[in-house]
Amino acid sequence: MNLVHRGRWITLLGLVLLALVYVRALAFTPVERFQGPAQKIFYVHVPAAWSAMLAMGLVGLCSILYLVLKDARFDRFAAASAEVGTAFSLVMLTTGPIWAKPIWGTWWTWDARLTLTLFLFFLFVGYLLLRGVVTDAGLRARYSAVLGICGLLLLPFIHLSVYFFRTLHPQPIVLKPSSPSLPGSMLATLLFSFGVFTLLYLGFVIQRYALSRLREERGGSHG
Amino acid sequence: MNDVLRHAWTVARKDLVLEFRTRTALLSAVVFTALVLTVFNFGRDPTAVATIDLAPSILWVTFSFAAMLALNRAFQLELENQALEGLLVSPISRTSLYWGKLLANLVFVAVVEAVGLPLFVLFFDVPVGRVLVPLIGVIALATIGFVAVGTLFSAMVIRTRFAELMLPVLLLPFLIPPLTGAVQVTAKLLAGRPLSEVEGWLKLLAAYDIVFVALATLLFPTTVDE
Amino acid sequence: MAEVPQNAGYMVAAYIATAVILVGYALSLYRRTTKL
């Protein structure tokens, strides 16, 4: 299938470029003075966050479009985006604590970033679980769309809740994990990584979408 | 608009009459709440943490469980008696159906909370007297948030496998903002802090309610249409 | 002035974890689209 192959090539390209990001980040980007080498986790954690957010945003958008236009392709894309988003959320959830431990002294803290990450993960997983327990394709598409839209709207409230919570209970922060202005070399690495993670999102989502379409064509009702 | 409200009340009344006639679900929910509060008492070390510090969390976790229980049975009745189809072909609009269900669920949860709150005060010796009115206000705000989303989701999960498991899994992330707000405000109220300190949280709770009641009203028809 | 912290181990762990997850997912997609 053409779409599958296209997806595969994009993914392969993305992975090769990811290796280049690794090389650049690990060997050719300066070590941050106060945080040490662990700061470099930044270059994979933040782009993964971006990809997960992108995935969620598209799940929400496609959910709305599906309900309005009733085109099954939007549902198929939303489902693909949710699965891909889960993968990137997993990256965030593993790199987040690994980064937090040396910088903040604790594996977990209920700060805005980690908490939102956790919620994104729960929303993606909930979405996929819901799709798993509904057998009728039309019903599944409608239910998923409802959940997708609700999930998207939940995120600002989670953010606000965490923000209010933290202004009441300031956590001891040893070092700031990300400085507002990055020196040129670090910024370049970060931007490069953003591009690569976006490319990976694209490659993954195209393949996953193609997979759904293939399954439907072969007669299964599961997408 | 009048029609919508009238029909909603009809739907709600039907549900509530059914509930209060059998009373089983209601009694079970009340007993459950009492048991949860009891479990909390034995699940803590009173010498380590002052009751007053844990009290808000205990109250709200209990209320969350109670709300979940209430929601689980919400559409059960309909499904069991094929009554849902009947409701759907009737001239009652989907909006009325949702608002009716919402109202019925709210009353149900309110009754459970009305029993749960005095029990909570009794078991944990919590001074609510002076702040009773604002406390009831917060309870109302948070409960509306829980039940608005919960009514929408229970309409969905009732037609899936593992409905009882799916509802908490899907709903819990949505309970966090109202829950957080409710716990914070309750804590401040019990500590005798002025209401002005919790203005932000109250606004958040209100905003949540408005957004999600509106959203659920909008999306509910999708979940019950064939 | 404080020394630069010696926490490269965390960095390595995070980079490996990321690679494992992303490559793993890519392989999963490959396998699933091939099996059909």
- Residues of chain A contacting residue C33, judged by C-beta atoms under 8 Å apart: 1, 4, 7-8, 207, 210-211, 214
Cα→Cα distances A116→B161, B215, B225, Å: 29, 21, 33
DSSP structural state of residue A40:
G
Neighbours of A213 (CB within 10 A): 18
Residue of A26, A102, A218 lying closest to C7 (CB–CB): A102
Is the predicted pLDDT of residue A219 greater than 60, yes or no? Answer: yes
Residue B91 neighbours by CB under 8 Å, 6+ apart: none
CA distance A121 to B13: 39
| pLDDT at residue A173, as a whole number | 46
CB A134 within 8 A of CB A196: no
| Residue that is written with structure tokens 């490996």 in the block | C16
Distance from CA of A119 to the nearest CA of B (A): 7
Q: How many residues does the structure list for chain A?
A: 223
Q: Which domain, by its residues, includes C31? A: 9-36
| pLDDT at residue B29, as a whole number | 86
Looking at the 3D structure of chain B, how many domains does it have? 1
Q: In this predicted model, what pLDDT tens digit does every residue of B141-166 receive, in sequence order?
A: 999 999 999 999 988 888 888 888 89
First CA to last CA distance, chain C: 61
Residue C13 belongs to a domain: yes
Q: In this predicted model, what pLDDT tens digit does every residue of B9-41 receive, in sequence order?
A: 888 888 888 778 778 878 888 899 999 999 888
Residue B161, chain A, CB below 8 Å: the answer is: yes
Neighbours of A105 (CB within 10 A): 12
Residue B204, chain A, CB below 8 Å: the answer is: yes
pLDDT-derived band at B193, boundaries 50, 70, 90: confident
pLDDT-derived band at A172, boundaries 50, 70, 90: very low
Neighbours of C6 (CB within 10 A): 10
Is the predicted pLDDT of residue A171 greater than 60, yes or no? Answer: no
pTM: 0.90
Is the predicted pLDDT of residue A64 greater than 90, yes or no? Answer: yes
In the A/C pair of chains, how many CB contacts fall below 8 A?
A: 96
Residue C21 belongs to a domain: yes
What is the sign, positive or negative, of the torsion defined by CA atoms of A100, A104, A108, A112? negative
| HSE (side-chain half, CA atoms, 13 Å) at A215 | 16
pLDDT-derived band at B226, boundaries 50, 70, 90: low
What average pLDDT does the segment A162-190 reach? Answer: 68
Of all residues in chain C, what percent carry a pLDDT higher than 90? 69
Of all residues in chain B, what percent carry a pLDDT higher than 70? 94
Q: Which two tokens mark A101?
A: 């431990």
User: What radius of gyration, in Å, describes the C-alpha atoms of chain A?
Assistant: 19
Q: Which domain, by its residues, includes B9? A: 2-224
pLDDT-derived band at A12, boundaries 50, 70, 90: very high
Residue A158, chain B, CB below 8 Å: the answer is: yes
Q: Which two tokens mark B77?
A: 């009745």
Q: In this predicted model, what pLDDT tens digit does every residue of A136-162 receive, in sequence order?
A: 999 999 999 999 999 999 999 998 888
CA distance A35 to A102: 8
Residue A105, chain C, CB below 8 Å: the answer is: no
What is the sign, positive or negative, of the torsion defined by CA atoms of A92, A98, A100, A103? negative
Give the residues across from A32 on adjacent strands.
Answer: A36
What average pLDDT does the segment A9-37 reach? Answer: 91
- pLDDT greater at residue B183 or residue A180: B183
Q: Which two tokens mark A220?
A: 């299964």
| Residue that is written with structure tokens 């923000």 in the block | A163
Coil, strand or helix at B169: helix
What average pLDDT does the segment B47-63 reach? Answer: 86
Distance from CA of A151 to the nearest CA of B (A): 8
Looking at the 3D structure of chain C, how many domains does it have? 1
Is the predicted pLDDT of residue A175 greater than 50, yes or no? Answer: no
- Exposed, middle or buried: residue B67 (CB in 10 Å: 0-12, 13-18, 19+)? buried
Q: How many residues does the structure list for chain B?
A: 226
Is the predicted pLDDT of residue B82 greater than 70, yes or no? Answer: no
- Residues of chain B contacting residue A126, judged by C-beta atoms under 8 Å apart: 169-170, 173
| pLDDT at residue A67, as a whole number | 95
What average pLDDT does the segment A84-111 reach? Answer: 92
Phi/psi at A30 (nearest 5 deg)?
-65, 150
- Residues of chain C contacting residue A94, judged by C-beta atoms under 8 Å apart: 14, 17-18, 21
> H or E segment at B129?
none
Residue A27 neighbours by CB under 8 Å, 6+ apart: none
What's chain B's average pLDDT?
Answer: 87
Q: Residue B19 corresponds to which amino acid?
A: E
| pLDDT at residue B163, as a whole number | 82
Residue C32 belongs to a domain: yes
The three-point CA angle B128-B129-B131 to 5° equals: 65
DSSP structural state of residue B195:
G
| pLDDT at residue C1, as a whole number | 56
CA distance A19 to A151: 33
